[in-house]
Structure 1
Amino acid sequence: MESISEQIYNSHQRCLNNKMNPYDFPDLKDRLLDIELEQKKKILDETISVARTFMTRLIAELNGTAVLIAITDDEGYLIELYGDEMMKSQIESLGLSPGIKLKEEEAGTNSIEMALKMGQSVQLIGSDHFFHCLHESACFSVPFFSLGKISGTISVMMAAQQASSFHSGLLQSAVDSIEREVRVKQQNQKLLVLNQVLMENSRNGVILANENGKIVEINPFAEKVLSCEKEEICNRHITELEVIGGYMENVLRGYKKYEDIEVSLSNKTYLFDSFPIYNESNQLNGVFGQFRDITERLVLERQLMLSEKLSAIGKISAGIAHEIRNPLTSIIGLLQVLKENRRTDNDKQNEYFRIIFSELERIKNLVEQFVMMAKPDSKEVSKARVSLHELFKDILTLMDNDFKNKNIKVHYQAFYKEKISGDKDKIKQVFLNILQNSFDAIDYDGNISIEINQSKTDNGIEITVSDDGTGMDKDTLNKLFTPFHTTKKDGLGLGLSMSYDIIELHNGRIKVESENGVGTTFTIWLPQAKPQFGNMTFNIKRTK
């Protein structure tokens, strides 16, 4: 490989062979258009910006020495030129201005083209230049790299009498620093983009505040949960944030950091973390806070706990079902004997016996339903033609004494008396549960209204049961159909839960409206009966 001196000599010879006059600097013709120059500036924008900082510092270190700084791209086009104004004016008078290309065929032997070709620093002092007009100057050029490739050069021009190898080393050191700083900036830019992507798309709420407690960043998820806009909340103090602001303030004061604190925001449950942010000097620089939604997880956990409860009840139920069925069978048999051997025979007694037998059969079915409740995979609905009007007459006869004891007036109206398709015992159980609920809600002297109507909006039957009892608050209403949730001292919390499931099994709907101190209204919608022949049994599986 040729040495620098050999490269300079051979360059001079090529210039002479091209019939270039060393005493006459030519007009340089290879020049970029203004728009092309701007495009190249944009490509090198990061390097140009960083270089200005470092080269300004280098000029200051040269202690008053007049210098000119030149930055080119990887093709040798001059992109930036700044420094001593007098030197700049002299150089520009030769046609060496931004946009011009420094190539040997026009500009003669020059350090910029040689540095690009050799990939190393080059210095030309005095007569190393081909043209005599540059013999009183010294030029130092160092290539700079990006991603392992030469991206351009940074050059320093000064008077030849002031130049030394020290300046070459100083420039090389500055270019090394510029390359490192550019790499750091590029990495920071990538991290910034990545951070923005994460912040913008994160399903966690993120909030950052500075050391003074002023909010400096909040992501879209946090904006949504906290019902605020970034422009409104930034620069406000973290203590203005409800619930989580106090935790972040404590972190700033150095009290503690927080992990997995359960907080309630916008009617949902979140886990909140907050910890301090330190700078390179290990000084407190701010506070970080994030919260993640665990509402669904809690629901699943509750469902799992409920499933475990049901499983345990199922095991107990299976054991006691046999013990309950046996005495029930004996009671039913003995009552049948009593009925047949009674001395008097009147309609009232016959009605009472009918209801007693009906209720004993219902008790047997209740045991089976209790087991079924605990084993939701084996639900059965045996459908038949059922008269809701007749069901309510039986229920009201059954509960008549209870209503009289509390002086409760029952207003019953059946505007629709056609039969529906359903499981008679299960549907009866639903309305018994609902009426029992209304009965329990009235302390004394109240009203219960029952209506059966054909639905005005869709093809179905609408049954409403209203009372003027104590009513329910919002929390009780939300948990009304949750298994094992009860407000009664002796309640199991299964009646209304079973009722909900039974109505769903009949492809129906149940809605409850209630107001504390005013009363409660249950509205049940059931589909009208389709023409049927005989009984059909459907096996329904609950989807967990």
Structure 2
Amino acid sequence: MGLNSYRIGLIIRIVGLLLVMLTFSFLATQSNWFFSSIIIGLTLIILVIEFFRYSFRYKNDIENLIQSFEENNYQSKIRITKHRSKYKEVEKAFERIQNVVQKVRLEREVQFNFLKILIENVPSGIITLNSENKILNVNQSAKTILSISGSFQWSTLENRYPLFANQVKSNNPVNNELINLTESKDTIQLSYSISTIKLQNDLIKIISFQNIKTVLDQNEMQAWNNLIRTMTHEIMNSVTPIISLAESGLQILSNDRNTENPLKFTEKNLDHLNKSFSSIYNKSLWLKEFVENYRKLIRIPQPTLKDINLADIINSCAHNFLEIFKKENIEVKINPINVIANIDPNLIEQVINNILKNSIDALKKRSNKRIEIIIEENNNRPLIKFIDNGEGIKPENCSKIFIPFFTTKETGSGIGLSLSRQIMRLHAGSLTFESKPSVKTVFTLQFA
């Protein structure tokens, strides 16, 4: 409404100005109308002044608004003077513009602060540089990983780690490259990536990196802790009853010495001693087998690689289980695709046999038992998938199944999957799984 009134007022003033100019031009040519010409001329001057005053009515207000945007000052309000009361809608429009811009600015500040906090708390080091290699931002993790305290300047990085600085200087993008940095006697192994983005006509470089040596050391320590915990549990399960049985046998012998006729055991005592020594013997055999399994785990021979058709080795292993499949009423489906892989057939047979045994055990309590074996290639890498509809792996056990000696079976050594994964790693491959309990479990062998 205010802008429409302003537009109408502007048109009226232009029309009035044109009429007065025409009248003044006419009277100026008439000698008898001299004083009238002067009056009309003064009127024309007044109308011109009024026209410009009216035209620039909002000039100062708009300039103040723009200045507040430039200075990031959103507190000052645009005020229309009293004689412009009918243009209050324009004032409200100006204030709405201010509010919208202020809201956008606050949202950007919130996002910026969130990203800043996020970057400061990520475990990876992050450094941002402009096109002149001036450091714009560096998080605390970067300082910790590179052992730099206080002010972090580009010159500091160049002096302490020149090799890394030279890599960063190159404008080529890098994705998960490895580099060894040495300072004094300490060596840092970094995995780093470099990417670039263009912001406000400047090329910004983002360097992210992580000390993988520390991560690997932590993972190795965790693996050893899990292994020692499992071994301790298994050994104590056998040693405790051995001690108890031996103590019981010694007690019987001690009581016998105190009798008038030593070494003349009652039938009950003889039976107890027989059971005790039998248990000690069996537990000792189990401990021996446990140690033998441990030796197998740490003494895997290096693979003797050959080009082998995976379909042949799968058919051979499946044939070995043919009677068990029939006895357990398991439906087995194998896709007959010929895929060549460079493997040690003897070691890979161990892996396949172990996975098939696990599938058979998982199907014990199931109906409509099925095992499907799929051979295929993924990005020119051969792989084998073993799919069964057995009981599956419980979520709480998913992180433990590759730990040596961990087992959920009543009988079993608990080294099968751990041994299988090590064999696959010796082939520069991998052994992975996914499981939905009581629905489907998939073990995948992927070769180099």
Do these two structures clear the TM 0.5 threshold for a shared fold by scoring above it?
Answer: no
Report the structure, 1 or 2, having the larger helix content.
2
State the TM-score, normalized to the length of structure 1: 0.30
Report the structure, 1 or 2, having the larger strand content.
1
